[in-house]
Amino acid sequence: MNVEITRLASGLTVVTETMPHLESVALGVWIKSGSRNETEDEHGIAHLLEHMAFKGTARRSARDIAEEIENVGGELNAATSTETTSYYARVLRDNVPLAVDILADILTESEFDEEELRREKHVILQEIGAANDTPDDVVFDKFSEVAYRGQTLGRPILGTPDTVKSFTPGQIRNYLSRNYTTDRMFVVAAGAVDHTTFVKQVEERFARLPMTPSAPPVLEAARYIGGDVRETRDLMDAQVLLGFEGKAYHMRDFYCSQILANILGGGMSSRLFQEVRERRGLCYSVYAFHWGFSDTGIFGIHAATGGNELPTLVPVIIDELRKSSETIHQQEIDRARAQIRAQLLMGQESPAARAGQIARQMMLYGRPIPNPEMMERLEGITTERLTDLAGRLFFDTVPTLSAVGPIEQLAPLTDISTALATPGIQTKKAAG
């Protein structure tokens, strides 16, 4: 692991991993702030800021930004999540100074022009409309909303039409000054990069970043609530999402939860795929996932199926959850570990994947985690720990149910909760 770390006098952390066999470099700036750091009247502003960063600076127009990076064959993009925001580029090794200069420019000298803001609001309103027209996006947004009802963690990252329309350049600058500070930012590069040279470039170009926030960053503590949300639509298939309170990144059972999600629905050999799709043909898509956040988590099962299959599908899923609390085979653990190990090693062959992985680990743990250490954490997971975790996850917490589409035959949440709590009990709709 050829990773070097330098913390500048300003507080900004610079990390590189040199991959000398490559000709390209993936680099970016990761900020430990996202939609969870918005105040009540800022819903969607983190995502809007990410868009506006590319819309002109004191030195470059929006077109200049796009042309300069593409003139050298490079790529430039950004992403907003609940707890992080990232701005990243990929270029050939000789063009790293240009990429650093553009990233610094958009993060320290963006102008937030009124006319550009008006246009970008319109673009995001179209993005919101497109998301609302996509049932598998809607089911996840509603899922988060009911799991963390009334909290920033439960709000759609895009915001609402009303909130997006209301934002001013001043509000964007306030969010920026509160969250984009050196103590919360990490500049990471992986590929054909020299650490000492890169540090000098970053130190010179990012000197204008504020060291301390204008006000304390906002982060509302998460409270998992759970519940039921449904939207009947005239569609060919039903999107159903059943979830439970998961584990935060730093909790002991986080890696156990990742393994359990893999065993239940992490691939074609998983229990849900084999039983629900292959053996019974009840849906065309089914998988399990576990999302970790800084102070909470979500474990979920997503299925896409016809409305007529719902009375049979839900009891089968519940039965598989119950079986996982009774028996897990060592072979399943070994297979899940092998899949995770392969993902880690394959990720090392991609500079973009490595830069993103290193940045996430720096934000979460304060240091890069070597792959052998990651695998060592997974080695301690036993069949007993997994069955115990499954029992606590699926049968000791309030479930969250989100459904969109032809869902008239989907059982009430009370019946599903009863079936989860009582072995051998089927939901009323399924029994009837």
pLDDT in tens, 329-374: 999 999 999 998 898 888 889 999 999 999 999 999 999 998 888 8
Residues 155 and 59 in one domain: yes
Burial 373-394 (b: 16+ CB within 10 A, else e): eeeeebeebeeebbbebbeebb
Q: Is residue 210 part of a domain?
A: no
Strand order of the sheet with strand 297-305?
227-232, 400-405, 238-245, 297-305, 285-292
Q: Is residue 330 part of a domain?
A: yes
Domain count for the chain: 2
Q: CB of 182 within 8 A of CB of 10?
A: yes
Comparison of pLDDT for 282 and 348, the residue scoring more? 282
Q: Assess whether pLDDT exceeds 50 at residue 80.
A: yes
Residues 170 and 82 in one domain: yes
Whose CA is closest to 358, among 16, 9, 13, 6?
16
Residues 166 and 239 in one domain: no
Q: Is residue 214 part of a domain?
A: no
Local confidence band at 431 (pLDDT 50, 70, 90 cut-offs): very low
Residues 257 and 179 in one domain: no
CA atoms of 401 and 399, how far apart (whole Å): 6
Residues 324 and 269 in one domain: yes
pLDDT at 344 (0 to 100): 86
- Could you read off the pLDDT of 167-215 as tens digits, one per residue? 999 999 999 999 999 999 999 999 999 999 999 999 999 998 988 887 7
Q: CB of 387 within 8 A of CB of 323?
A: no
Residues 336 and 427 in one domain: yes
pLDDT at 25 (0 to 100): 98
Q: Is residue 217 part of a domain?
A: no
50 is catalytic: yes
Looking at residue 339, its amino acid is Q
Residues 363 and 251 in one domain: yes
Q: Assess whether pLDDT exceeds 70 at residue 430.
A: no
Q: Assess whether pLDDT exceeds 90 at residue 423.
A: no
Q: CB of 57 within 8 A of CB of 23?
A: no
- Residue 426: give its domain's CATH number: 3.30.830.10
Question: Which residues are 385's β-sheet partners?
Answer: none
Q: Which two tokens stand for residue 18?
A: 């040199």
Q: Is residue 246 part of a domain?
A: yes
328: left (phi over 0), alpha (psi -120 to 50) or beta: beta
pLDDT at 1 (0 to 100): 61
CA torsion through residues 59, 80, 249, 261, sign: negative
Q: CB of 208 within 8 A of CB of 105?
A: no
Q: Assess whether pLDDT exceeds 60 at residue 428.
A: no
- Average pLDDT, integer, range 292-303: 96
- Average pLDDT, integer, range 256-282: 96
Residues 50 and 117 in one domain: yes
Residue written as token pair 């650093």: 100
CA atoms of 409 and 27, how far apart (whole Å): 49
Residues 198 and 239 in one domain: no
Residue written as token pair 């993060």: 107
Looking at residue 265, its amino acid is G
Residue 184: give the domain boundaries.
3-205
- Could you read off the pLDDT of 384-396 as tens digits, one per residue? 999 999 999 999 8
Low-confidence winner among 225-229, 259-263, 422-426 (lowest mean pLDDT): 422-426
Q: Is residue 213 part of a domain?
A: no
Q: Which two tokens stand for residue 329?
A: 């085979």
Q: Assess whether pLDDT exceeds 90 at residue 81.
A: yes
Last-in-domain residue among 175, 205, 235:
205
- List the catalytic residue out of 17, 50, 68, 320: 50
CA atoms of 23 and 9, how far apart (whole Å): 30
CA atoms of 232 and 218, how far apart (whole Å): 36
What value does the mean pLDDT of the chain take?
94
User: What secondary structure, in 3-state letters, does the chain show?
Assistant: CCEEEEECCCCCEEEEEECCCCCEEEEEEEECCCHHHCCHHHCCHHHHHHHHCCCCECCCCHHHHHHHHHHCCCEEEEEECCCCEEEEEEEEHHHHHHHHHHHHHHHHCECCCHHHHHHHHHHHHHHHHHHHCCHHHHHHHHHHHHHCCCCHHHCCCCCCHHHHHHCCHHHHHHHHHHHCCHHHEEEEEEECCCHHHHHHHHHHHCCCCCCCCCCCCCCCCCCCCCEEEEEECCCCCEEEEEEEECCCCCCCCHHHHHHHHHHHHCCCCCHHHHHHHHHCCCCCEEEEEEEECCCCEEEEEEEEECHHHHHHHHHHHHHHHHHHCCCCCHHHHHHHHHHHHHHHHHHCCCHHHHHHHHHHHHHHHCCCCCHHHHHHHHHCCCHHHHHHHHHHHHHCCCCEEEEEECCCCCCCHHHHHHHHHCCCCCCHHHHC
Residue written as token pair 């935060």: 248
Chain-centroid distance, C-alpha 394: 22
Q: Is residue 222 part of a domain?
A: no
Q: Is residue 244 part of a domain?
A: yes
Residues 136 and 253 in one domain: no
Q: What is the percentage of the chain residues whose pLDDT exceeds 90?
A: 86
Angle at 421 between CA 415 and CA 425, to 5 degrees: 60
CA torsion through residues 134, 294, 246, 290, sign: positive
Residues 333 and 193 in one domain: no
Residues 125 and 263 in one domain: no
